[in-house]
Structure 1
């Protein structure tokens, strides 16, 4: 049977298909010497080339212009927020020796034609004041975040290649399998809550023409899949994260003005996009987000636009496929995605062995977003003249409004990463009175 992802890639490239299609994936490299010469678009220039000279220019004109471009040409336009979000508490109990509260909250994302719900697993330290909360989606279900036996086992579709998943359904064997990525007790001891939900609750991560998850509920009459400029899966996951924030706003023990969007890998891309589209998030954290996230597309390094569209044709909108092997034609690059979060704090992180995600490209995006942050009155990445050379491994740059580190190791999120994010959050949230 031919590979459906390969077929989708070839169709996007305008190729004529036969039953014998078995195309090779687009070529990639991780050799800095092969990075092509490129010129980045200037976030502080309007489409007509005139300069953005004030914060008002950025806020009222340039930012909306860029946001529209990213929506139309990359992530796809998502439906507007609903007037209200229905929630239901499934469970609530004291945990960790009575020092914290754990809740499971069902959030209704859509009701028609088929109900779609997302379950939030929420941990909060016991305190007399509302607390800041990290909100992030997980890859394998809430039951994988913890070894606690009474957290509900997710029953939605999952990848078979995951340990503990049989016939695309989770088994008890998978419980706690992702706990190393979610150091719950560390966060609680630092005075933060954690809210997480399985991204497949919102939209299962496989390509079936958008017949699953939240997409069908918003299809127009006679429409079988999103239009070329309408939402792919990443935009759907971001839309779902915003509904998660809607739900947290209903929790009196959560400081809803201090909710931090966080994501790893494809969910790091999601965190950046939700941070750009939903200004309610106080801080945005991208962990190893790579192509389509923090990494500059024009570097054509590691995973490229063509390769990501080949492997995951459902992540972005159809319009994005016109830039396969054609990054120079992009009307934006990823430093401008980070700039869309300004002036709110943003942290970008890389791993030294994660060349597929292009650590240098991730760092350069943070550097080249700096002028927008400074225009808006912040210190940007800090220092008078930020260097374009990668900082030393395991030495975070985190005293500014833009944070960055590259750590030892591979594509993952670990305690070192979380320690930096907590320190960064402390600096930017603890002094606030809201």
Structure 2
């Protein structure tokens, strides 16, 4: 990257952080900074939450899996809202399956972005929801879940849509806590593109996620912003201002003035596992900037006696995979897409690093 990025292991006075306890205090400040200046603060947990299975298929995927559609109903300030979650759990396993919470663009099961049968064949459960079943991907903050958290004129650090989708992912994790057929020590939250940004924020907000996986999340996701090619803060806040809090607009064209960069978000996931994937031809997301984010977040893992990204300094070739570290990474051939190749690498990473 051409511009110097801020050090994540540096306190307000500029001193280098070498102590894990000091980092834990710094972590809280960084999380609040990112919520205040980029995503908006996630709403508090609901006052009430309930789960109801409304459909069940025992013979899903040629009887290799059980499918359930579950209604999650929440109450906030006396108002109720419900959205569906789709569960596909392998029918026969030798041990409790690890699980993905997939924030998807659609509610289809399976879906072009989610090979449900292949995941079940691999021994994984997947709990997915269509993001627009939560709140629409537009400027309307009276829609769906957003209506429960009045944003008024959306000044300052009121939550953007990414924060609301992340909040919904946390409620899916609440549901998983009620299941005895899933390995709760090994749950990954995963998303693609804008929902990759959402998955990272969800994992930063909730330590119950043992793994965070972002695919092609790019600007305001895994990619370091300073020196980034392709999409920048000015682009994303012009096209999609409602994804973020209003404060974020102040950095359009002024990224060098941000008191943070995206490796701060990645660092919040330590010491848990993080996996970032890129597509070689996705220049708008800028794979080198995503890899730079992984490199810059890695020193935080050292405070826990862990390695971060295990990758040489050279630029990796297409289909290069680096799964050994507590930060994993791959870059595949092709364009902006969540492919079977990506899911195969995610499954391999979870198997390799199972808790």
Q: TM-score, normalised by structure 2?
A: 0.95
Q: Does the Cα contact within 8 Å between 2:155 and 2:247 map onto a contact in 1?
A: no
Q: Which residue of 2 aligns with 1:260?
A: 188
Task: Mark the CA change 1:423 to 1:185 in structure 2 (over 3 Å): closer, same or farther.
Answer: same
- 1:367–1:388 CA contact under 8 A, matched in 2: no
Answering whether residue 64 of structure 2 is matched by residue 139 of structure 1, we say no
Q: Is 1:115 the equivalent of 2:80?
A: yes
* Residue-by-residue CA offset, 1:286-338 (whole Å, 9 max, x unaligned): 10001010111112421110100000010000000000000011110011111
Pairwise CA distance, 1:105: 0.2
Aligned to 2:348: 423
* Preserved CA contact (<8 Å) 1:109 1:214: no
- Partner SS state of residue 131, structure 1: coil
C-alpha distance in 2 between matches for 1:139 and 1:322: 29
Partner SS for 1:254: coil
Offset, 1:183: 1.1
Choose which of 269, 273, 278 in structure 1 pairs with 2:206. 278
Partner of 1:207: 139
Q: Is 1:187 matched up with 2:119? A: yes
**Aligned position for 1:81:** 45
Q: Is the 8 A contact 2:99 2:186 kept in 1?
A: yes
1:111, distance to aligned residue in structure 2 (A): 5.9
Instruction: Indicate if the aligned counterparts of 2:54 and 2:70 stay in contact, CA closer than 8 A.
Output: yes
Q: Which residue of 2 aligns with 1:19?
A: none
Whether the 8 Å CA contact 1:334–1:365 is kept in 2: the answer is yes
Provide the rounded CA distance (Å) in 2 between the counterparts of 1:389 and 1:337.
24
CA–CA separation in structure 1 for the residues paired with 2:181 and 2:287: 37
Question: In structure 2, what is the equivalent of residue 172 of structure 1?
Answer: none
1:113 deviates by: 6.5
Deviation at residue 215 of structure 1 after TM alignment: 2.5
Contact 1:205 1:233 in 2 (8 A): yes
1:318 pairs, out of 246, 249, 254, with 246
Q: In the alignment, which residue of structure 2 is the partner of 1:247?
A: 175
Q: Stretches of 4+ moved more than 4 A in 1?
A: 111-114
Determine which of 300, 303, 306 is the counterpart of 1:375. 303
Q: Secondary structure at the match of 1:314?
A: helix
SS in 1 for 2:186: strand
- The 2-side partners of 1:317 and 1:113 are apart by 25
Mark the runs of 5 or more structure 1 residues left unpaired by the alignment. 1-34, 147-178
Aligned CA RMSD, in angstroms, stands at 1.6
CA shift for structure 1 position 216: 2.7
CA shift for structure 1 position 121: 0.6
* Residue 393, structure 1, aligned to residue 318, structure 2: yes
Greater C-alpha Rg: 1
For residue 192 of structure 1, report the CA deviation from its aligned partner. Answer: 0.6
SS in 2 for 1:197: strand
The answer as to whether partners of 1:335 and 1:365 remain within 8 angstroms in 2 is: yes
Match of 1:234 among 149, 162, 170: 162
